[in-house]
Amino acid sequence: MKHFHRLILLIALSWLIPLAGAAETAAPPAGPVYEPEVGQEGRDVVWVPTPHALVEKMLDMAEVTPRDFVMDLGSGDGRNIIAAAKRGARSLGVEYNPDLVEYARRAAERAGVADKARFVQGDMYEADISRATVLALFLLTENLNQLVPKFLALRPGTRIVVNGFEIDGWTADAVDEAAGNCEDWCTAYLYIVPAKAAGRWRLPQGELVLRQSYQMLSGTLSTGGKAAPVEDAYLHGDFITFRAGGRIYEGHVEGDILQGLNGAWSAKRLSRVASDVPGR
């Protein structure tokens, strides 16, 4: 009986082995793995990756920490987002090219940060960036200019760090150069989203009028029928400082309230005035 069972097993294997080989032969060959090419056409810009040395410099300038939510518009191969995720930040890249989206996802998996670095296919101009505390970008000035109204709608203090190109009319809060191998792309610009401070404000000592162009301020402080110019004024996120009437004012913009440091002074907004900034 044992010999009979063994014979049956051998006959079955003699049929299965050729079938397995046939199945392997019939399997379609794997297609070529997608590899992006520097300079390839995109919807809004050609794809050129930011050198890794500058990626790290940009994230340093933005002071990225695990508390941040970092976004990249036109995220390409995902290197900005992956580098931010390696610092512990939750990160999201928006890329129009679906092949690049999949490429970036695989790169995040290989880097061990797929749990923090996400990539979606989409139009950068339509993307919801409201959650971002940091934007790490490599876009042309014309692209950046179109995005300015969305940038300025972000929470004051949000950091926008850009490779190579500046935003027209908005003076960068910081400019720095990458060391090491940065090829032709070594300069980064940091912009801090300012609070909305333009308007007429009531202080105990008089009326303050502030005009705003991004983080830069000008205006007058009227006290007892005399108007003193506002000088040395600027915004850093929601922090405001200016000098008027021989006094230095420092505090924070809290909606329609200016709150001086340590309660030293305060002001209430009476009305808003036209701003020189798009969308404000």
Last residue of a domain, one of 166, 192, 218: 192
Per the CB < 8 A criterion, the answer to whether 207 and 228 are in contact is: no
Last residue of a domain, one of 192, 210, 239: 192
Same domain, 240 and 187: no
Q: Are strands 247-254 and 216-223 parallel, antiparallel or unpaired?
A: unpaired
Q: Beta partners for 236?
A: 239
**20: confidence class by pLDDT, cuts 50, 70, 90:** very low
Q: Residue 27 pLDDT > 70, yes or no?
A: no
H-helix segments, the chain? 2-26, 52-61, 79-86, 98-111, 141-152
Last residue of a domain, one of 142, 166, 192: 192
Burial of 124 (0-12, 13-18, 19+ CB in 10 A): buried
> What CATH number does residue 176 fall under?
3.40.50.150
228-265 confidence digits (pLDDT tens): 999 999 999 999 999 998 999 999 999 999 999 999 99
Buried b (16+ CB within 10 A) or exposed e, 205-227: ebebbbbbbbbebebbbbbeeee
The DSSP 8-state label assigned to residue 242 in this structure reads E
Same domain, 170 and 94: yes
Query: What confidence score (pLDDT) does residue 39 get?
Result: 56
For residue 120, what are the domain limits? 52-192
Query: What confidence score (pLDDT) does residue 224 get?
Result: 85
**275: confidence class by pLDDT, cuts 50, 70, 90:** low
**18: confidence class by pLDDT, cuts 50, 70, 90:** very low
Per the CB < 8 A criterion, the answer to whether 75 and 104 are in contact is: yes
Average per-residue pLDDT in the chain?
A: 87
Same domain, 263 and 210: yes
Same domain, 176 and 78: yes
Residue 8 lies in a domain: no
Per the CB < 8 A criterion, the answer to whether 48 and 138 are in contact is: yes
Q: Residue 13 pLDDT > 70, yes or no?
A: no
Same domain, 147 and 223: no
Residue 210 lies in a domain: yes
* Tokens describing residue 55: 């990626």
Query: What confidence score (pLDDT) does residue 227 get?
Result: 93
106-147 confidence digits (pLDDT tens): 999 999 999 999 999 999 999 999 999 999 999 999 999 999
Q: What is the pTM of this model?
A: 0.84
Residue 14 lies in a domain: no
Domain tally, the chain: 2
Same domain, 154 and 258: no
Buried b (16+ CB within 10 A) or exposed e, 44-57: eeebbbbbebbbbb
Which of 142, 133, 35, 126 is CA-nearest to residue 73?
126
Same domain, 66 and 184: yes
Same domain, 139 and 63: yes
Q: Residue 19 pLDDT > 70, yes or no?
A: no
Same domain, 134 and 240: no
Same domain, 122 and 224: no
Residue 91 lies in a domain: yes
The separation between the first and the last C-alpha atoms of the chain, rounded to the nearest angstrom, is: 92
Query: What confidence score (pLDDT) does residue 47 get?
Result: 74
74-109 confidence digits (pLDDT tens): 999 999 999 999 999 999 999 999 999 999 999 999
Query: What confidence score (pLDDT) does residue 37 get?
Result: 61
Query: What confidence score (pLDDT) does residue 276 get?
Result: 57
160-219 confidence digits (pLDDT tens): 999 999 999 999 999 999 988 888 899 999 999 999 999 999 998 899 999 999 999 999
Cβ-proximal residues to 209 (8 Å cutoff; 6+ apart), any chain = 199, 200, 201, 219, 220, 221, 222, 273
- Region for residue 209 given its phi and psi (left: phi exceeds 0; alpha: psi -120 to 50; beta: otherwise): beta
Residue 35 lies in a domain: no
Per the CB < 8 A criterion, the answer to whether 181 and 53 are in contact is: yes
Strands (E), 103-238: 117-121, 134-137, 159-163, 174-177, 187-192, 199-203, 206-213, 216-223, 226-229, 231-236
Residue 46 lies in a domain: no
